[in-house]
Amino acid sequence: MAGPSYRACKQCYFVTEGDTCPRCGGQTSKEWQGLVAVVDFEKSDIARKMGIAANGKYALKVR
């Protein structure tokens, strides 16, 4: 699921390929686990718990 080039934002958990998060501008990390695809954040329990307010791919844990 997670390719070696993917990184996750330390602030909002958004998964991206860049060094900085395109969503919040935060720093991204290669050290992350668990990929969650949020397709309907308004109905997703995980999105609510993580404070996600947009659809997309997110990491469960980011170090």
Binding site for Zn ion (CB under 5 A): 9, 11-12, 14, 21, 23-24, 26
CB of 12 to Zn ion, least distance (A): 3
Q: Which is nearer to Zn ion, 18 or 39 (by Cβ)?
A: 18
Q: Which long-range contacts (CB under 8 A, 24 or more apart) does 5-9 make?
A: 7/32, 8/32, 8/58, 8/59, 8/62, 9/59, 9/62
Q: Which is nearer to Zn ion, 24 or 42 (CB)?
A: 24
CB of 10 to Zn ion, least distance (A): 8
